């Protein structure tokens, strides 16, 4: 866990008419992309809010601009900025000044401008917020799970006198305020599973031992450890039923049908290779001979349990 200490910077700035103002920031914004589902495509977006306030320190009606900039990421990248995991994997994202994600926030040019005016009458302090818009590019199919972060330290805020027409085109001199913007996303371990029916076909009576097979397909995020278990069916005893009649069967992990596949000690394990990489596990079934089996259609439902 990273602990960030945010220090607000204050500035006493003479403005038009010898009126001075003090401006400050009251929070440390975080662009938190949350815990997105790696199996869902598309851009991932979020918003962070930065709170500001300005106070005039003498009579007058100051009018000025607050110009906001965003520093490069922890490794100096701007377009794109990169979130990084503890293992060094990266995810591209960026910070924008608009909800349509078209204007990338820069460290020293093309600042986001907020016009501020403190009237003669009324409170001596005005405050407001700006939104910073984050967009994370679609996750790759082999994305590694874990926490990805970056810190855009020493992001600058400049006070520019001159009213609403003042320019935020570039930074000039030392910053009037500094803030730290953190961005993060947590990619969770995730799996999806599908299975085909195990069909023993049409058999004559008296019923002889009969084998069949089906498959289970597992897709898991890259490097995710998983195990697959099969329960005992609706009765818990692995019985195919037709009304009040039943026929016993078993499920195995191997073609020789020696290793029972169950939901406790007899599970199968594997490692995910990405959201589109299918891992196929074969299920080998056997119906036991039963000379007393009555005619009918026999079925059971087995639950596939995937833990990761």
In the chain, the percentage of residues whose pLDDT exceeds 70 is 92
Residue 136 has pLDDT above 90, yes or no: yes
Q: Find the range with the poorest average confidence among 34-48, 60-74, 198-212.
A: 60-74
Residue 4 has pLDDT above 70, yes or no: no
163 pLDDT band, cuts 50/70/90, is low
> Could you tell me if 187 and 139 are in contact, meaning their C-beta atoms sit under 8 angstroms apart?
yes
- More confident: 20 or 285: 285
19 pLDDT band, cuts 50/70/90, is low
Q: Which residues contact 287 (CB under 8 A, 6 or more apart)?
A: 200, 203, 207, 209, 210, 211, 212, 240, 247, 248, 249
Question: What domains can be seen in the chain, in order of their start residue?
Answer: 11-187 (2.60.40), 191-307 (2.60.40.1090)
Residue entry with tokens 């087995």: 302
CA 103 – CA 110 distance, rounded (Å): 9
The residue count for the chain: 308
| DSSP 8-state class, residue 123 | -
14 pLDDT band, cuts 50/70/90, is very low
pLDDT at 243: 97
Give the torsion through C-alpha atoms of 165, 167, 168, 173, to 10 deg: -130
pLDDT at 6: 26
- Give the up-direction half-sphere exposure of residue 218: CA atoms within 13 A in the CB hemisphere: 26
Average pLDDT over residues 107-125: 89
pLDDT at 7: 27
Average pLDDT over residues 139-164: 92
Model pLDDT for residues 227-246, shown as the tens digit of each residue: 999 999 999 999 999 999 99
Residue 159 has pLDDT above 50, yes or no: yes
CA 149 – CA 227 distance, rounded (Å): 30
Residue entry with tokens 């969770």: 188
166 pLDDT band, cuts 50/70/90, is low
5 pLDDT band, cuts 50/70/90, is very low
Question: CB-based burial of residue 38 (10 Å sphere; 0-12 exposed, 13-18 middle, 19+ buried)?
Answer: buried
Residue 17 has pLDDT above 90, yes or no: no
3-state percent helix, strand, coil for the chain, nearest multiple of 5: 0, 50, 50
| DSSP 8-state class, residue 233 | T
CA 115 – CA 175 distance, rounded (Å): 17
Residue 52 has pLDDT above 80, yes or no: yes
Average pLDDT over residues 159-178: 78
140 pLDDT band, cuts 50/70/90, is very high
pLDDT at 59: 79
Q: Which residues contact 203 (CB under 8 A, 6 or more apart)?
A: 210, 287
């Amino acid at each position: 866990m990273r602990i960030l200490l945010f220090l607000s910077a204050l500035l006493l700035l003479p403005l038009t008419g010898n009126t001075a103002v003090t401006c400050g920031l009251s929070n440390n914004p975080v662009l938190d992309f949350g815990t997105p589902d790696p199996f869902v495509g598309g851009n991932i977006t979020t918003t962070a809010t930065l709170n500001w306030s300005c106070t005039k320190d003498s009579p007058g009606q100051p009018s000025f601009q607050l110009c906001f900039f965003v520093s490069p990421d922890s490794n100096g990248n701007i377009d794109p900025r990169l979130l990084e995991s503890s293992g060094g994997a990266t995810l591209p994202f960026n910070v924008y000044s608009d909800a349509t994600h078209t204007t990338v926030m820069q460290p020293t040019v093309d600042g986001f401008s907020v016009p501020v005016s403190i009237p003669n009458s009324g409170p001596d302090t005005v405050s407001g917020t700006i939104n910073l818009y984050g967009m994370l590019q679609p996750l790759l199919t082999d994305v590694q799970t874990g926490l990805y972060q970056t810190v855009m330290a020493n992001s600058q805020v400049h006070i520019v006198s001159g009213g609403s027409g003042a320019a935020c085109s570039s930074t000039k001199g030392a910053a009037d305020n500094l803030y730290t913007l953190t961005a993060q996303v947590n990619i969770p371990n995730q799996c999806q599973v599908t299975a085909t029916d195990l069909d023993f076909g049409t058999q004559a009576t008296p019923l002889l031992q009969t084998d069949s097979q089906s498959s289970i397909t597992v897709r898991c995020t890259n490097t995710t450890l998983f195990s697959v278990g099969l329960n005992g069916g609706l009765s818990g005893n692995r019985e195919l039923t037709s009304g009040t009649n039943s026929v016993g069967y078993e499920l195995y992990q191997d073609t020789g049908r020696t290793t029972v596949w169950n939901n406790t000690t007899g599970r199968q394990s594997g490692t995910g290779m990405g959201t589109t990489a299918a891992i196929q596990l074969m299920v080998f079934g056997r119906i036991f001979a039963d000379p007393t089996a009555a005619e009918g259609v026999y079925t059971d439902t087995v639950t596939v349990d995937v833990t990761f």
